[in-house]
Amino acid sequence: MNTLHQFVFGIYPYIALAIFLLGSLIRFDREQYTWKSDSSQLLYRGNLRLGSILFHVGIIGLFFGHLVGLLTPVFVWDAMGISHGLKQAFAMAAGGVMGGICLVGLLILLHRRLSDARIAAATRGGDKILLLWILITLLLGLSTIFVSASHMDGSMMVQLMHWAQHIVTFRGGAAGYLIDAPALFKAHLFMGITLFVLFPFTRLVHVWSGFGSIGYLGRAWQLVRPR
């Protein structure tokens, strides 16, 4: 295992996580007026609703799919009688569907944002980089489905699970599980990890507000009394 591999898959995830958490906190504290999704609906509606719905449904499905698939301990799946091959097949099918939905939505949003002169002029360079970064990450992830189809025993999936679980539980040796991983998987992981680095500096911070809005469900009713 060379030094670069150890850094990217053993140390870099913690750097990305630190930037993700501290950067979000600092931005919320110092630049609350920039904490928004920067919607371009006022400039041009176009296919915004269709693209936005498809993109958000797809990316939320992918997020929670990765979260459950990678962080659920292997012994839990074994206890439920779900083989590694079956889990891999389900992950490929679900990831393909959600990834496809996300890709269609993202392409619609990209076309709308870059083809309309007014929106393109109002789009910052960082936003263009972010959208293209997400697109490349998504395409790499979808491409791994074809690589996974060549070995349906689930062994590669288990290695990825061990890597992710070692990272989140601060155990050493995480990078060792990815030594034999195909380059496509490594590229997808690197791009995905880097999204956490970009998160605090882009419009992605509005994701926190989405999760935070759940707290309003438990708040007391606002009473408005007549004069």
Instruction: Enumerate residues 6+ apart whose C-beta is below 8 A from 44.
Output: 112, 116, 118, 119
As a whole number, mean pLDDT of residues 119-147 equals: 89
Q: Give the max Cα distance, the chain.
A: 73
Rounded to 5 degrees, what are φ and ψ at 149? -65, -20
- Pick the more confident residue, 203 or 226: 203
Q: Which has more confidence, 85 or 127?
A: 85
> Taking each helix axis from N to C terminus, what angle separates 48-71 and 155-168, rounded to the nearest 10 degrees?
90
* Amino acid (one-letter) located at 223: L
Instruction: Check residue 32 and report its DSSP letter.
Output: G
User: Using CA atoms, how far apart are residues 184 and 161, in angstroms rounded to an integer?
Assistant: 16
What value does the mean pLDDT take over residues 101-113? 92
Residue 223 contacts by C-beta under 8 Å, 6 or more apart in sequence?
none
Average pLDDT, the chain: 89
Examine the pLDDT at 24 and tell me if it is beyond 70. yes
Of 52, 50, 139, the closest CA to residue 96 belongs to 139
Q: If residue 91 lies in a helix (H) or strand (E), which one and from where to where?
A: helix 84-115
Lowest mean pLDDT among 9-18, 116-125, 156-165: 116-125
Sequence letter at residue 202? T
pTM: 0.88
Q: Please report the pLDDT score of residue 127 as a whole number.
A: 82
Angle at 159 between CA 167 and CA 13, to 5 degrees: 25
Distance (Å, rounded) from C-alpha 93 to C-alpha 100? Answer: 11
CA proximity to 56, closest of 143, 139, 134: 134
pLDDT digits (tens, 9 = 90+) for 164-215: 999 999 999 999 999 999 999 999 999 999 999 999 998 888 888 877 667 6
Q: What is the mean pLDDT of residues 70-92?
A: 94
Return the higher-pLDDT residue of 44 and 195.
195
Task: Round to whole Å and give the CA distance between 59 and 30.
Answer: 28
Asked if 65 and 98 touch (Cβ cutoff 8 Å), the reply is yes
